[in-house]
Amino acid sequence: MSTKFSLTVLKQQLKTKTMPELVEEIAVLCKKFPQVKEYYQVTFLGQDDVAIQNKYKAIVKAEFVPGFKVQHPKARLAVARKAIADYKKIATSKYGLADIMLTFVESGVIFSNEYGEIESAFYNSMESMYQSTLKYLLKEQIVDDFDDRLLAVLKDTHQIYWWFHERLLYLYEQHIGHKPEF
């Protein structure tokens, strides 16, 4: 009967390794898994690496913004959300994460304005991320740093269907505590 692999088993196995073996093991992980390399880059630098942040931001934009990577983006919500989740695992900057979250919504708005009416699930996802971004900005006390972009999203959604603009406006008012001033 085999032992179930767990963090405890891993720690026990690592304790049997010499320092050079551990260094080699980490080097192999960095080579095989880019996210491990990025984690160590961020950890050892002590701050977000702008190149890493831009990589994940580009993944989000590539899914929605026409002409960014391809002329007709695929708008795969899962791919863009995964990029945010992956970045969140290694991010140390509250500003970097907020930037990528808001980029998701901004890029979705660009996509909707370019291609017209999209299915309601698309708008629900954008609305959910807008709300998550508002909550995160409030929790981290950095709303003022992103308020111009939050308001720009509201302005840019004015002609979008599915009551999208109205729902985002409601979320802004509910979380920020006042009507936006355009």
Kindly report, residue by residue over 18-55, the tens digit of the pLDDT: 999 999 998 999 999 988 888 888 888 766 678 889 99
Predicted TM-score (pTM) of the model is 0.85
Let me know if residue 99 belongs to a domain: yes
Let me know if residue 16 belongs to a domain: no
* pLDDT for residue 155: 96
Our measurement of the distance from residue 100's CA atom to the centroid of its chain's CA atoms, rounded to an integer in Å, reads: 4
pLDDT at 93 over 90: no
Let me know if residue 125 belongs to a domain: yes
Mean pLDDT highest for which of 25-34, 76-85, 112-121?
A: 76-85
∠ at Cα 144 (138, 146), nearest 5°?
A: 85
∠ at Cα 140 (88, 63), nearest 5°?
A: 40
Total tally of structural domains belonging to the chain: 1
* pLDDT for residue 47: 61
* pLDDT for residue 48: 63
* pLDDT for residue 147: 97
pLDDT in tens, 118-176: 898 999 999 999 999 999 999 999 999 999 999 999 999 998 877 999 999 999 999 99
pLDDT at 59 over 90: yes
Dihedral of the alpha carbons of 163, 168, 173, 178, in degrees to the nearest 10: -100
- Mean of the pLDDT values across residues 4-29? 90
Let me know if residue 34 belongs to a domain: no
* pLDDT for residue 35: 86
pLDDT class for 58, splitting at 50, 70, 90? very high
Q: In which domain, by residue range, is 148 found?
A: 48-176
pLDDT at 74 over 60: yes
Let me know if residue 42 belongs to a domain: no
Dihedral of the alpha carbons of 59, 60, 62, 64, in degrees to the nearest 10: 160
Structure tokens at 70: 């391809």
Let me know if residue 130 belongs to a domain: yes
* pLDDT for residue 69: 81
For residues 59 and 80, the answer to whether their CB atoms sit within 8 Å is: yes
Residue with tokens 């004015």: 158
Let me know if residue 82 belongs to a domain: yes
Let me know if residue 181 belongs to a domain: no
